[in-house]
Structure 1
């Protein structure tokens, strides 16, 4: 399947104009003259010369689709053309980053350097007048990242509102992920191991583990009860009852984050439960609208999932009682979702305003990753789940509410691990745009 790429030559200039306007205001708030962004440096393992996989500073790749050029810098001064200080080292040990090319280069003054220390000569002279964004290891002589809160608070908050260019990047990332999910499901149906399903996924995305936005969760059977399961069993289980896959893809620095759950042909009861969660999830996605409180949507999800638990015979209490007594938290222990974009768990999910501050999570929901009210331009994941986690079920069994739970039914479902369904959804001025469902529809 070919992935149709958007016309980036048209979409990029307005995106860059938006970033310049945001930077102008962030610098004004912080009292700085220049925004300087470090791409970052490679970090090395303790007592070794092996680097960890390089992860570019998200502020850097916000401006341009360069993700593999450690030691590079971006400089923006209001009223001037942005400058890219691009490191292409003289190096025969490693692959040297390719020369800058593509739809974005004409918008930058580009300086090529051969040694990381040469960058200092091309950065502003007075570091005190600069908002310098980056990790400490990016520091050059007399030029150290200061990450000023006044500038970062503004930039992080504004990052929630995606430009048309950013949404185009995320649509492609979603299409790549959906194509790979189809390949992974086929590998599961063919009886492959977790490791081999993972390889099928990588082949379909044409991305390595380090190029994916996060480590794939490929979980067969009871492994689906481990929320961040990344072990990858090399041998297939004797009986593959269920398959939970949480995996995304990257495109020009932007991420997709997709989860699906499948049942084996003979697991009809579990398949029915998957269908119920999928239907509920679709309903939650339709509520990604301007003015919707994300915490309230999360609480609503608990009530709907409680109804599913009751309908399928796991609990005998009312949905309201199940939520009030935190029974649903044993089966759905994480948040409904999170912001997504340049990072899988994108910034500012709790931020009260562009000046900072924090909107607290609702009591009893410590793992919710977003507490803001949805606004047009935001992209969030919607990922409800129902799990059979031994540790949480043991705690639940010791509570008074345990008497209203069918433990025989619960025990019968432990072998399936759990269910999670996750889509990436854009809040618009009207109907939400479901990037994930659209991508699966295009994949056929």
Structure 2
């Protein structure tokens, strides 16, 4: 696989970031954009810190994810033509922890870099007065008079623009796909060898080369009935007997950008559950092809319910039409989450509900409370497409309580219940033409 030219891609990305910052500052009435990288948070009544998570507004500018107490400062060129943005880089004198390496990489030549040894040294380098700064961050990042004010006009605009990925961002996201696919292949092999959830998880982490502090989210590694728990993260230490099925939802990070991939497997490759997996997989590919400019993501979600209920109808699980299952809420018992979400700097990226770059919210369709994306698709957006079918006792009991028991063949439910559920998830980019699946080519290349 050829490595992208990140130097050239980053230069164009930075130009885009500057244009966006100019507009954000103009709208909010501030002179300077100041973005802290974030701080370490300590556990209550303890001297242990929580895993550090970088401010997404910071890593949107810089491929730096492990530099707490650092700052990004941007002032539009109109005030001093030719000036470069400033990075205040925290590199402490510390023999208790590993000190960040000196700044290096494709971004360095574009910034004025100032090294500080103590967090408070940043005060002398931040623009004055603090009242003229739009400071984007969390309250814990406050330093002197520089308290994050997160002006809505700036944040709404910048988060909305993050929906449109630059070529640089897409290149980083592709790399995150390839890393995650390595882990998925290792995890499937461990499953086929009869390993426990914990051992499968460790095989995944080893193949990706990332642990819990680096992965974009906690891995979901679920055998058998555990696949019916949407966010199952318990990691059993011994494998069940027999092992019937395996659902893994796991991603990877690359310079601050996330991947999010789900696959489901059956032990018996010729059995009914494998046939249902194959049906969901084929449907998922078609759904991904529907990611096109001008398409309402809400409609994609509703249409996915009809498609999935068609699969359950074909397998004899439901006895009513897909339309009736959707209308009566039966479909939500088998597919209780949304079709997907925006992805990028964050796994569930921002602005999925944004009405415009000036704020506002597009509501979810009635009866679909967990959908995380309600916008019309546009070129540059990247979304996940993750349909699922599950056999969840709690939700199936609700079907009975709501007087819809006759809609379901409970004998067929019992046949599939020991397998938990199925979810297939890819990341798909919207373009001016056909959808571009970012995930499947990574699997093809690895094979």
TM-score for the superposition, normalised by structure 2? 0.98
Q: 1:10-89 counterparts in 2 under 5 A?
A: 10-79=8-77, 80-89=83-92
Residue correspondence of structure 1 range 4-403 to structure 2 within 5 A: 4-79=2-77, 80-265=83-268, 268-403=271-406
- Secondary structure of the 1:167 match is helix
CA contact (8 A) 1:5 1:172 kept: no
Aligned mates of 1:141, 1:322 — CA distance in 2: 58
The alignment of Structure 1 onto Structure 2 pairs a total of residues equal to: 442
Shift of 1:402: 1.1
Residue in 1 that maps onto 2:414: 411
Q: In 2, are the aligned partners of 1:4 and 1:172 still within 8 Å (CA)?
A: no
Q: Distance in 2 between matches of 1:6 and 1:207?
A: 22
For residues 367 and 267 of structure 1, the distance between their equivalents in structure 2, rounded to whole angstroms, comes to 34
SS at match of 2:134: strand
2: distance between equivalents of 1:4 and 1:226?
Answer: 39
Runs of 5+ unmatched residues, structure 1: none
* Alignment partners' CA distance in 2, 1:57 and 1:45: 19
How far apart are residue 398 of structure 1 and its match?
2.0
- Name the TM-score, length of structure 1 as normaliser: 0.99
Do the aligned residues in 2 keep the contact of 1:74 with 1:85 (CA within 8 Å)?
yes
Contact 1:184 1:197 in 2 (8 A): yes
Structure 2 residue ranges without an equivalent (≥5): 78-82
> In 1, Cα distance between the equivalents of 2:272 and 2:178?
31
Shift of 1:208: 1.3
Task: Output the CA distance in 1 between the equivalents of 2:335 and 2:298.
Answer: 15
* 1:207-253 per-position Cα deviation (integer Å, ceiling 9, x unaligned): 11110110000000000000000000011111110000000000010
Give, in angstroms, the shift of residue 142 of structure 1. Answer: 1.2
Distance in structure 1 (CA, Å) of the matches to 2:441 and 2:350? 25
C-alpha separation between the residues in 2 aligned to 1:94 and 1:125? 32
Find the residue that maps to 2:60 and give its secondary structure: helix
